[in-house]
Structure formats: structure tokens, C-alpha cells
Amino acid sequence: MEPTGSAGPLLTDARPADHVLLDVRGLTTEIAYRNRVIRAVQDVSFTIQAGETACLVGESGSGKSMTGLSIMRLLPHRGGIVSGSVRLRGTDLTQLPLQQMRRVRGAQVAIIFQDPMSSLNPTMTIGRQLAEPLEEHNGMSRKAALARAAELLDGVGIPRPAERLASYPHQLSGGQRQRVAIAMATACGPKLLIADEPTTALDVTIQHQILSLLQEMKERLAMGLLLVTHDMGVVAGWADRVMVMYAGRLVETAPTGRLSAGMRHPYSRALLQAVPTLRTDRTAALRTIPGSPPDLAVAGRGCSFAPRCEQARDACREQSPPLTAASDGTYACFFPVSAVAADKPAVTPAAVTDPVGQDLQDRGGQPAPLLSLRQVVREYPVRQGLPRWRGSAASVKAVSQVTLDVYDGETFAIVGESGCGKSTLGRLMTGAERPDGGQVDFDGVDITRLTSGQRRSHARRAQLMFQDPYASLDPRMRIVTSLREPFVAQRLGSRSEQEQFVRSLLLDTGLSPDIGSRYPYELSGGQRQRVGLGRALALRPRLVVADEPVSALDVSVQAQVLNLMRRLQREHGLTYVFISHDLAVVRYIADRVGVMYLGRIVELGPADEVYRSPAHPYTAGLLSSASSAEPGAAGSGSHTPGADAPVRGELPSPVDPPSGCRFHTRCGFAQPLCAEQTPVMRAFGSSRHTAACHFPLIPSSEVRAPTKRPADA
């Protein structure tokens, strides 16, 4: 898909296509603030070949995004490249005048940002935004550019592309907006594409589609691709080469095939060990990286990772290790992992003697559920104009006829794509919202019938933990005030007693009491999430509904928060409902799992059994779409027929969900029966593993003969 015009003879092909496309040498970038200078990128060197996918990984603040912005020369105010070169096909981009660099961006090198909603202009139609670079770089007329824009949308899988040209960004889903961003970035056929966290905020199914699309576009346009991410699963599944960055420096480069077996730098191995996979031992704590990354405004001596490295020796604290060449990469370490004893771990895990939440089958008899939902329904009216009393013609079917139990002391996970009703179901479980139908029993009491006074009392027994702690904490309140607020609202204790309990909460969640005097913006993401957990635990509830509690965190901080949640569950006898779209995290922390699709529970059962033998095609598709940090490791359900087919398409509108089985419009096994009848829940394997599917992937234990799938019929 080569562009029809030309951006000018700025970047000549001085080398054959199979040679180096991008050559970065000694790149150093600084950002000047009022009283200090941040050295965000320090002496970074690497190359990218044409047709290669290189992945830049590391924790937040390591300099990954700043490296990509430096290549594009899109640095923030008072930021600049102070030394080094960035050569694209032999031309040094750092030396180009700004006007020429503007002609290079989009035409020769392009970037895709993490949040397409913030990178797309909300006041311009999709067609106008796609046509703009074609008019600017390729000299197309408005009519020709719009026609080409429709072709680009079709090329990235947007349905009805001609109609979408008139849409605005807010009228598209998250996956569609990211596809538009990809179409815009590749419109002029660039030779290098930089993708900065392109899938962080997306569901596992949409993530798989976007990464597949990037791979397809790379091959079609013979581009080089630089992926910037902290998701080690993305690295393992999609990159040819990995470059690990820490404190603004590259500390290791290696082919992806050596990712899990032969990483030499202790930081690289620590990142891998902190990531839960579908094979992680659930009875052990996740390995964590102690401490936090250094302040890039302070020049330190020695290896920047030494304060957090258990292999560090005196030489590491005195000298900065240079990049050492190996047969298949480079590393900056005096004492690489391969040179130490194989039985000495880079990071020592905390001991866990018992798994979280004893499995129900090991308990004496079947206990009464702590939380019980029966045929629960929740719908939101879509108002059609004013006045409101005229009613609505439609409604969002957020939760439809959901029936399930949550048992005391267990971790019950709810998984599914965004928009399937997970968060709404969580609010119904805590009593934060009333259902439109059905019954919600908490410890034998129907909470849908509670009076306002009784609801206040019930709030002490069931609490919500939100995905974004920064948005859920008042930015004008100090942390101690935010943590005192639940006691003030419930009129519990004197001020001194409340402050004393807040101090114990901070210690309980691994925070220093000094943090109580700070504001939310003064804390890191991991610290804010710990405060959010402390606030949820302030009233000593029996149930905590955690809504995507670790999705926005780095892998190292994620491991710390998950270990903390498990420890507090053991110490306080908590019951968790864990809402997430990260299947590896769910596999690690959950005792049982419920798979939700478009308002309905389609599969329910013990986590081990559901992951090992998924019965519903949607569950199998989710598992096959999940990225694994283990190269070549397939999902746990990949052996099951049909489990290797990721979920296709996007979620239908919950305002007008499909008839019968709501998944049939995206299911590769769907037959006419699926559109006509809603399937009922049936048992598969154990009596606690149930699924609602007319043509399941495994035989039902409720029938004698194996259920035939359409492919076998």
C-alpha cells in the first residue's frame, strides 16, 4: 500500500532494504524544569532493520516513551536532544530543520499513541482527519483523499468504512479508535512505525486484533516497527527482538526467543518473574522488585539498578557497567544472571504456605454462600430527547438474568470484554446500585429491600475498590483525610481514634504513616492503589469488589499489589470479587471464575477447570487471545478444538443485543439454533463447572452422548 504522492527527496534510500532502517547512536534527551534537569534518555544506541519488530520494555519512567518521542522530535516543552544521532535510511533526523522534519513525520516515520481518544481531534470527523495527511504529504485533492480514507478504514477492518468517514471519535469504540489511529499513521506508507503502548487500555480480544493488524500492516508496507510497552506478553508473542530499558538507559538487548530462558541482566529477569502467566504456581507469592526506580534528576554513581538488585556487589555501586556485546545481543552488568548460581533467584519471593481461598471441594460440605444473585437484571434507559418524563424508546441491557453464588473466603473473578456488564454487576453486588429485577442476598439478607439506614449499615460489610485510585480520591484531600472519611460517614470513633486506625491501615497496606500528610498527586500509581485498598478495608468489610485494580500498573507494582491483596485476605478473612480482563492475573488469584458476555454469564466454575477445559467458545477465544510472557507457550485451553480461534469482530450494542445466544454473531460454531434459542446453563466435568452453549467445545456431563459441534455434524 504505497502512497501515491511524495513527501520530497528528504530521506534517500542510501542502503538496500534489507539493511539498517533506523540507527540510533548515543541518544541523550533532557527536560529542563524550573529547578532541576531530568535526563530522560541517556546514551541510548540501537538499530532496527526493515521488516523487523523491536520491542522497548521497562517500568514507567524508564524512558521508553521519551525515546520514541525523541526519534519523532515531538518532545515536551523545554525538552531537547542534547547529544547523539537518529539516522533514518542514512539521514540524521536530529539535524533536519523543523520545517523539513514536519514533512518527514507521517510520510517516513509515524507514531501511534497509547490513548487514541486524546490523539484524535474530537471536533473533526474521522474522514477529515484521515484525509489531512494525504493532502499534506501526497498532494491529493480533498475528494481523492476522502476516497483513499475509506480504503484505509476498510484495510484496518472498520465495518461500513464509507459511513464511518462522517463519524466523530466519540462515536467509535476503543478498538475502532485505535484502528483509526493505525490507519492515520500508515496512510502515507511510512518506513518506520512507532507504537507507544498501543494495546494497554484494550481488552484481550481487541488487543489480539490490534497486534495482528500491526503485524499485517508491517508486512504489507515492509516497515520497521518499534513497539513500546510494559506488557511482557506482547513482547513474547509479537516481537523479533527485545530491548530492556531502565532509568533512561538500555540495559539489555536480546532476541525474543531468549526472553524466558537466557536473559542476562537481573532487571530483565526480575521483570519476567513478576508477571503472572497461565502456568504460574498459585500457591506461591509473585516475585517482586524491591524499591523503586531512581530519580533521573539526580546523577548517581555505579549501576542505577544496584540499590534494587540482590546480586549487587561493591563494583556495581562504584562504576557504571558498559554495554557488553554477546553473540546474540548486549547487556550492561558486571555479574550477569548466567554467571551466578542457577539456584540463586534474582528476586526472592515472600513465602506463602497456603493458597488463597480454600477450594470448595476441600471444605466439609457445601457452605451457604455469602453472596447470592438470582435472575438479576439491570438496564439503563436511553433517553430520546426532552422532556425526560416522556420515557425512553430503548435501554442498555447491562445485566440480564444473572444467577451466581460467591462463597465466604474465596476469590471469585469476573472476566469479559469492556461493555459486557462486569462493573455494573460489581456495583449490584455491593448494593451501590439497585437491580431492576431479581434478588441479591448478602449473608441471607435481600439487600435490594433495605431502607436507607440499613443500606448505610450494609456499606460497612461490602466495599468497592476502583480501577483508577487517582480519580476515586479527592485531589484536594490529604491521604489521612481520605482514609478517615469512611469513619466520619459512619460516625465511628473519635478523631484521635480514627487517625490511629488510619495509621494502622497505612502500615497494613505497606505504606509509611508519613504518606498520610501527602496529596494523591504526590504518590506513585502503586502507592495510590494501596491507599485505595486501605480505604476499601477501612470499615473491615467481609466482601471487597475490586474493579480492575491492577490493570494500569507496571508489572513490578502489579505483583506487589496482588501479593498484598492475598496477604490481607488471609489475615482478615476477606472475600474478593475480582473484576478483570487480564486472564493471567485472574488465573493466578481466583478460586472460581465467571465469564461474562453482553450482560450474561456464559461460563462458571473453578478457575483451574475452566482454564484447562473451556466449554464455551467465547471462553476459549479469550484464552487463545491472551498474550503470554512465555515464548511459544499456548493458552491453557489451546488443546481444545476451536480454542485456537480468537474472538473475532467487536462487541454488539447492548442496546439491541442479538437474539438467542448473544455470542452467535461472533462465534465460528454458530448454527441457526443459536440465533433462535437462548441456551441454558449445563454442567461440564464437575457439577460446579457450568456453561450456556448449544454446541459446547467439550461434552456435557448432563448427557450420555458427547455433544457434537457443527464442524463434526
Instruction: Give 300-348 pLDDT, tens digit per residue.
Output: 789 999 999 988 999 999 999 998 888 788 999 999 986 544 334 434 4
Q: What is the pLDDT of residue 383?
A: 64
Residue 361, pLDDT above cutoff 80 = no
Q: What is the pLDDT of residue 472?
A: 79
Residue 384, pLDDT above cutoff 80 = no
Distance CA 518, CA 512 (A): 11
Q: Identify which has the larger pLDDT, 486 or 646.
A: 486
Q: What is the pLDDT of residue 630?
A: 61
- Range with lowest mean pLDDT among 150-159, 287-296, 453-462, 633-642: 633-642
Mean pLDDT, all residues of the chain? 84
**Coil, strand or helix: which one is 278?**
coil
- Range with lowest mean pLDDT among 304-308, 468-472, 655-659: 468-472
Q: Which residues make beta-bridge pairs with 415?
A: 580, 595
Residue 711, pLDDT above cutoff 70 = no
Q: What is the pLDDT of residue 150?
A: 94
Q: What is the pLDDT of residue 644?
A: 52
Contacts for 387 with CB less than 8 Å, ≥ 6 apart: none
- Range with lowest mean pLDDT among 304-318, 464-478, 619-633, 670-684: 619-633
The residue-averaged pLDDT of 95-114 equals 92
Distance CA 675, CA 46 (A): 53
Residue 349 identity: P
The residue-averaged pLDDT of 119-136 equals 92
Q: For the chain, what percent of residues have pLDDT higher than 70?
A: 87
Residue 351, pLDDT above cutoff 50 = no
State the Cα angle at 161 between 158 and 164, rounded to 5°.
Answer: 95
Distance CA 204, CA 417 (A): 8
Residue 669, pLDDT above cutoff 60 = yes
Set out the domains of the chain in order of their start, with CATH numbers. 19-108+192-201+222-354 (3.40.50.300), 468-540 (no CATH)
Q: pLDDT tens for residues 559-607?
A: 888 998 999 999 989 999 999 988 889 999 999 999 999 999 999 999 9
Q: What is the pLDDT of residue 18?
A: 52
Q: pLDDT tens for residues 133-178?
A: 999 888 999 999 999 999 999 888 888 889 899 999 988 877 788 8
pLDDT interval class at 645 (50, 70, 90) = low
Q: Identify which has the larger pLDDT, 19 or 195.
A: 195
Distance CA 271, CA 64 (A): 15
Distance CA 20, CA 43 (A): 19
The residue-averaged pLDDT of 349-360 equals 41
Residue 541, pLDDT above cutoff 60 = yes
Q: What is the pLDDT of residue 11?
A: 44
- Range with lowest mean pLDDT among 79-83, 88-92, 336-340: 336-340
Work out the number of other CB atoms within 10 angstroms of the CB of residue 572. Answer: 13
Residue 15, pLDDT above cutoff 70 = no
Q: pLDDT tens for residues 213-226?
A: 889 889 888 899 99
Contacts for 461 with CB less than 8 Å, ≥ 6 apart: 442, 443, 541, 542, 543
Q: pLDDT tens for residues 244-255?
A: 999 999 999 999
Q: For the chain, what percent of residues have pLDDT higher than 90?
A: 45
Distance CA 306, CA 455 (A): 52
SS (H, E, C) 298-317: CCCCCCCCHHHCCCCCHHHH
Q: What is the DSSP letter of 697?
A: S
Residue 63, pLDDT above cutoff 80 = yes
Distance CA 20, CA 22 (A): 6
State the Cα angle at 128 between 7 and 72, rounded to 5°.
Answer: 45
pLDDT interval class at 406 (50, 70, 90) = very high
pTM here is 0.81
The residue-averaged pLDDT of 104-116 equals 88
- Range with lowest mean pLDDT among 4-8, 237-241, 244-248: 4-8
Ranges of beta strands (E only) in 286-391 are 324-326, 329-331, 371-383
Q: What is the pLDDT of residue 581?
A: 84
Nearest alpha-carbon partner for 107 in 72, 80, 83, 141: 72
> Given strand 543-547, what is the order of strands in its sheet?
462-465, 543-547, 575-580, 411-415, 592-597, 600-606, 686-692, 681-684
pLDDT interval class at 49 (50, 70, 90) = very high
